[in-house]
Amino acid sequence: LWYGKRPLVLYTLYGPTSDSTHANSIMLQQFSADALDPVGTAAELIPPVPGLNNVTGSKQVPADAPLVVLASDATGAVYEAVIRP
């Protein structure tokens, strides 16, 4: 998604745990203005949670408004992260 003048990629990083469940994280990767090259390393927005599902959020956000991203886990708990311009 484009946030301001920069493209961002939000994704769920799937990782195994010792008890055969998955502790997944929500990650954010910034890209260059031409959307070709990653900028820096990915940032963890939501730390590992067992059974965390895919990230979702608005597809369009005004440049000066915060971006809210959500994910839920297998029990129905909802996790939220806010990205500010």
Q: Is the confidence at residue 16, as pLDDT, over 80?
A: no
Query: Per-residue confidence at 17, pLDDT binned at 50, 70, 90?
Result: low
CA nearest neighbour of 26 among 84, 63, 79 = 79
Tokens describing residue 45: 């927005």
pTM of the shown model: 0.82
| pLDDT score recorded for residue 12 | 92
Assign 62 to helix, strand or coil: coil
Per-residue pLDDT, 21:
65
Read off the pLDDT of residues 32-73 as tens digits, 9 standing for 90 and up.
988 889 999 999 999 999 889 999 988 778 878 898 999 999
